[in-house]
């Protein structure tokens, strides 16, 4: 039972060191009941480490990591669906045996676990693979089985670490539909992903982790505002001058994207461009997308890392 | 839930192991090999037995013989189908040319000089009949010379002797008292040989298949490892039954043809104290070695990496066998005491000393407590190593990290 003032996921002052190296220095955030929360960050920023510590797989160096008001254990925790980044199943067993086993471990009766698994496999197009050994399935098919194992106990809390990794666009859509269904049923979803369009479509709030600390945290509009927020897409003739009011993000023949500096009015920029002799054919403003924000936040370190 | 999950883990592990063809191929290979060996033994014994029986009335073939010793009675030889000759060379030629079936040459002193037997080749098994008949004729003739069947049996030294000895005023039990508690040592040793490799790899599949994270967030590691060990034990029992079945069938139904010795179970003495101590020592030893192997498996990334450490553990276990005479002759000596109390030497030493009666009650108590306490510590460490270490799929687990995680 969640304490009255504590949300389903509560992380406070979490720190994680491995052999003297700090992976997460200080991290605090909450995931509210029923929301879909995006946990974002570049590779190696500590996302998976945080999830593992939250689920008791790693012992934290310090800090509080609670699920439903206490450290997670399989016996006392809520109905959990966890899809780890490192995927794997018992390979020598049949699909139905593996799914039934996990279903029973998650508290289902054997008969119910079998029935649920058969229905799920039919839905995801694996109805003819019920008795096939897992090792005989393709990578994408194994992913579907793994997703089934994750959601088969009708989880209250879904923790998904890069859920669409390895999925083709069709199966990615299927996965997103399934996550959407659980969200509609009131499940809380904590999701690590690098697919920013998924985040914009599904997530209520996000946190951006950088160098083991929260770089930004809040609703998507709040994060967009935090990073200056506004971009101008310009179709023109002439030469775009440099200006302290904006930064030229993209520049090609007759098209430019300008990221506005904080507090600068779009009308002022338009007036300056016209004053500089630019023939403006189209002038539209929009918020920075999460992908653009991601590149802005992590671009430098990704380039440094040579990725 | 934990109890429920324990049963689920046991059921899954047992079912999938027993459902594998490879398991049955390797398991049934042993009894099939035993059955083949038994069949060969029975086949090779049958002609000899038949020939022995036949020899008493009729050898089934005719033969000539020469007797320099004078011990062969012509009338007995005639009963066996033998005819005395004096020209060995001619008789051997007759056998070589197929004109005679066999010829025996008894030397002047048959106890010192081997009796030479010549015969037509009847095949590997049938050929042994010549030696049997030649030997039986000599024995039968000697017995006839003695005249008294009992005297003849005594001359053969075929007499039972029962010994009764006393220790501290009590009748000691001898081998009949040693064998029952020794069964625990044999059981422990067999179980270790059969299951050691599987104990070592009990958590390898989770690591190698990357199932660890899924499983650790679904089931308590204690229930997982406990369930796996119990399942392993159940599978080991099935294997033992498979191995024992041909021995049991052979003993019960084909004991004579297999020349198996008859066990007189009435001569066994079951001392309750020794049996209880033996059982506790075996259980504690099994727990300690199981926990240690599971811990090694949890630390190492692959079964191959873990193999070297398992070899070291096996050596630790069998080292006391090399000092067994010292343990028997001087149970309170320095070496014996080290072998008794160092936990990884204890199993064989303590169970052996318990069987022969040189392990006192307080010594047994110390060793049993030591084994169980250390087992609990090692098993706990094994679970912790699996919990916090098995996520390191490709590298060896750092003990420092795992122990730090337990603070």
pTM recorded for the entire structure: 0.72
| Per-residue confidence (pLDDT) for residue B119, from 0 to 100 | 92
Tokens of A291: 């992908």
| Per-residue confidence (pLDDT) for residue B190, from 0 to 100 | 84
Integer angstrom CA distances of residue A223 from A15, A24, A27: 24, 21, 17
Tokens of A187: 């499940």
DSSP string, B126-144: TTHHHHHHHHHHHHHHHHH
| Per-residue confidence (pLDDT) for residue A115, from 0 to 100 | 96
Q: Chain B residue closest to A60 (CA)?
A: B405
The arrangement of strands across the sheet holding B82-84 comes to B82-84, B63-67, B102-106, B116-119
Compute the nearest-CA separation of B303 from chain A (Å): 17
- Nearest CB to A59 within list B216, B388, B398: B388
B20–chain A Cβ distance below 8 A for any pair: yes
Cβ count near B63 (within 10 Å): 25
Query: Using a CB-CB distance cutoff of 8 angstroms, which residues of chain B are in contact with residue A52?
Result: 213, 391
Query: Using a CB-CB distance cutoff of 8 angstroms, which residues of chain B are in contact with residue A19?
Result: 398, 401
What is the bridge-based pairing of β-strands B82-84 and B63-67? parallel
**CA gap B72, B139 in Å, rounded:** 9
Integer angstrom CA distances of residue B154 from A206, B100, B158: 100, 37, 6
End-to-end CA distance of chain B: give it in Å, rounded. Answer: 26
| Per-residue confidence (pLDDT) for residue A229, from 0 to 100 | 66
A142–chain B Cβ distance below 8 A for any pair: no
| Per-residue confidence (pLDDT) for residue B375, from 0 to 100 | 93
Tens digit of each residue's pLDDT (9 = 90 or more) over B159-203: 777 777 776 777 776 777 888 888 899 888 888 888 888 888 777
Q: Most B CBs within 10 Å: which of A74, A95, A96, A113, as the mutation test of the B interface? A: A74
**CA gap B141, B136 in Å, rounded:** 8
Q: What are phi and psi of B64, to 5 degrees?
A: -110, 160
**CA gap A64, A11 in Å, rounded:** 6
Per the CB < 8 Å rule, is B5 touching A86? no
Per the CB < 8 Å rule, is A57 touching B405? no
Is there a contact between B402 and B384 (Cβ–Cβ < 8 Å)?
yes
pLDDT along chain A (307 residues), means of 10: 74 88 90 92 87 89 92 82 88 93 92 95 93 91 90 91 84 85 91 86 89 85 77 89 86 87 85 90 84 77 49
- Nearest CB to B405 within list A59, A74, A102: A59
Per the CB < 8 Å rule, is A84 touching B213? yes
Tens digit of each residue's pLDDT (9 = 90 or more) over B3-53: 568 899 999 999 988 888 888 888 888 788 877 887 787 776 655 545 444
**CA gap A245, A265 in Å, rounded:** 9
Assembly ipTM: 0.76
| Per-residue confidence (pLDDT) for residue B66, from 0 to 100 | 94
| Per-residue confidence (pLDDT) for residue B407, from 0 to 100 | 46
Q: Chain A residue closest to B221 (CA)?
A: A74
Q: Where are the beta strands (DSSP E) in B123-269?
A: 165-167, 170-172
Q: Which of residues 337-396 of B touch A (CB under 8 A)?
A: 387-388, 391, 393
Query: Using a CB-CB distance cutoff of 8 angstroms, which residues of chain B are in contact with residue A97?
Result: 12, 15-16
Compute the nearest-CA separation of A91 from chain B (Å): 7
Query: Using a CB-CB distance cutoff of 8 angstroms, which residues of chain A are in contact with residue B393?
Result: 86
Per the CB < 8 Å rule, is B16 touching A92? yes
Q: Chain B residue closest to A86 (CA)?
A: B210
**CA gap A42, A297 in Å, rounded:** 9
Q: What are phi and psi of B217, to 5 degrees?
A: -95, 0
| Per-residue confidence (pLDDT) for residue B354, from 0 to 100 | 93
Per the CB < 8 Å rule, is B218 touching A72? no
Give the helix/strand (H/E) hosting B50: helix B21-57
What is the bridge-based pairing of β-strands A157-161 and A188-192? parallel
Q: Most A CBs within 10 Å: which of B3, B17, B214, as the mutation test of the A interface? A: B214
**CA gap A109, B213 in Å, rounded:** 23
3-state secondary structure chain A: CCCCCCCCEEEEEEEEEECCEEEEEEEEEEECCCCEEEEEECCCCCHHHHHHHHCCCCCCCEEEEEECCECCCCCCCCCEEEECCCCCCCCCCEHHHHHHHHHHHCCCCHHHHHHHHHHHHHHCCCHHHCCCEHHHCCHHHHHHHHHHHHHCCCCCEEEEECCCCCCCHHHHHHHHHHHHHHHHCCCEEEEECCCHHHHHHHCCEEEEEECCEEEEEEEHHHHHHHCCCEEEEEEEECCCCCECCEEEEEEECCEEEEEECCCCCHHHHHHHHHHCCCEEEEEEEEECCHHHHHHHHHHHHHHHCCC
Cα torsion at B33, B35, B39, B40 (round to 10°)?
A: 20
**CA gap A298, A300 in Å, rounded:** 6
Is there a contact between A151 and A106 (Cβ–Cβ < 8 Å)?
no
B265: which DSSP letter? G
Residues of chain B with pLDDT under 70: 1-4, 44-59, 167, 173, 258-261, 263-264, 389-407
Query: Is residue B272 classed exposed, middle or buried when 0-12, 13-18 and 19+ CB atoms within 10 A define those classes?
Result: exposed
| Per-residue confidence (pLDDT) for residue B33, from 0 to 100 | 85
**CA gap B248, B92 in Å, rounded:** 47
**CA gap B320, B335 in Å, rounded:** 9
B152 contacts: CB under 8 Å, gap ≥ 6: B142, B143, B146
Per the CB < 8 Å rule, is A90 touching B209? yes
Per the CB < 8 Å rule, is B218 touching A75? no
Compute the nearest-CA separation of B204 from chain A (Å): 11
Q: Most B CBs within 10 Å: which of A57, A58, A165, as the mutation test of the B interface? A: A57
């Amino acid at each position: 039972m969640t304490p009255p003032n504590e949300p389903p996921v509560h992380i406070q002052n979490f720190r994680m060191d491995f052999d003297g190296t700090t992976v997460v220095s200080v991290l605090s955030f909450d995931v509210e009941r029923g929301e879909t929360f995006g946990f974002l960050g570049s590779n190696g920023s500590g996302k998976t480490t945080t999830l593992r510590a939250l689920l008791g797989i790693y012992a934290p160096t310090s800090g509080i990591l609670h699920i439903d008001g206490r450290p997670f254990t399989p016996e006392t925790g809520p109905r959990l669906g966890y899809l780890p980044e490192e995927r794997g199943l018992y390979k020598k067993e049949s699909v139905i045996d593996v799914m039934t086993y996990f279903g029973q471990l998650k508290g289902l009766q054997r008969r119910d676990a079998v029935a649920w698994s058969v229905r799920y496999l039919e839905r995801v197009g694996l109805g003819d693979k019920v008795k096939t050994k897992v090792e005989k399935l393709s990578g994408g098919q194994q992913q579907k089985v793994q997703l089934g194992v994750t959601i088969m106990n009708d989880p209250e809390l879904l923790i998904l670490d890069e859920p669409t990794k390895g999925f083709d666009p069709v199966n990615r859509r299927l996965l997103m539909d399934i996550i959407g269904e659980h969200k509609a049923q009131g499940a809380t979803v904590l999701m690590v992903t690098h697919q920013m369009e998924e985040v914009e479509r599904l997530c209520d709030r996000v946190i951006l982790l950088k160098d083991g600390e929260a770089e930004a945290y809040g609703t998507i509009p709040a994060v967009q505002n935090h990073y200056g927020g506004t971009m101008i897409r310009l179709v023109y003739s002439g030469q775009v001058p440099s200006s302290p009011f904006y930064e030229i993000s993209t520049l090609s023949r007759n098209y430019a994207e300008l990221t506005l500096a904080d507090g600068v009015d779009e009308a002022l920029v338009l007036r300056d461009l016209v004053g500089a002799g630019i023939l403006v054919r189209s002038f539209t403003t929009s918020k920075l997308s999460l992908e653009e924000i991601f590149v802005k936040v992590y671009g430098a370190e990704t380039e440094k890392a040579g990725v | 839930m934990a109890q429920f999950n324990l049963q689920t883990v046991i059921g899954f592990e047992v079912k999938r192991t027993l459902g594998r063809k490879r398991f049955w191929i390797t398991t049934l290979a042993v009894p099939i090999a035993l059955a083949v060996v038994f069949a060969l033994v029975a086949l090779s014994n049958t002609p000899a037995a038949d020939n022995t029986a036949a020899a008493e009335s009729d050898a089934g073939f005719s033969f000539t013989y020469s007797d320099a010793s004078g011990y062969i009675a012509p009338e007995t030889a005639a009963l066996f189908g033998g005819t005395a000759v004096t020209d060995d060379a001619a008789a051997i030629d007759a056998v070589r040319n197929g004109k005679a079936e066999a010829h025996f040459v008894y030397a002047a002193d048959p106890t010192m000089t081997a009796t030479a037997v010549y015969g037509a080749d009847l095949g590997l098994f049938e050929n042994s009949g010549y030696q049997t008949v030649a030997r039986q004729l000599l024995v039968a003739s000697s017995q006839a010379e003695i005249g008294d069947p009992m005297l003849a049996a005594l001359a053969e030294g075929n007499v039972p002797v029962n010994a009764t000895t006393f220790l501290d005023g009590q009748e000691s039990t001898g081998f009949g008292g040693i064998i029952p508690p020794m069964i625990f040592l044999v059981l422990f040793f067999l179980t270790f040989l059969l299951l050691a490799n599987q104990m070592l790899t009990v958590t390898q599949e989770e690591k190698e298949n990357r199932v660890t994270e899924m499983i650790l967030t679904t089931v308590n590691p204690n229930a997982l490892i406990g369930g796996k060990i119990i399942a392993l034990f159940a599978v080991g029992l099935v294997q033992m039954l498979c191995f024992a079945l041909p021995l049991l069938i052979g003993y019960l139904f084909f004991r004579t043809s297999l020349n198996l010795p008859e066990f007189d179970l009435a001569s066994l003495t079951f001392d309750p104290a020794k049996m209880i101590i033996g059982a506790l020592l075996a259980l504690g030893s099994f727990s300690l070695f199981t926990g240690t192997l599971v811990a090694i498996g949890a630390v190492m990334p692959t079964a191959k990496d873990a193999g070297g450490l398992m070899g070291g553990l096996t050596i630790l276990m069998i080292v006391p066998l090399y000092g067994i005479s010292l343990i028997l002759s001087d149970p309170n000596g320095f070496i014996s005491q080290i072998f008794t109390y160092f936990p990884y030497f204890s199993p064989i030493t303590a169970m052996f000393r318990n069987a022969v009666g040189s392990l006192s009650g307080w010594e047994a108590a110390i060793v049993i407590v030591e084994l169980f306490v250390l087992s609990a510590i090692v098993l706990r460490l094994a679970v912790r190593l699996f919990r916090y270490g098995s996520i390191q799929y490709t590298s060896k687990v750092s003990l420092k990290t795992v122990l730090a995680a337990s603070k």
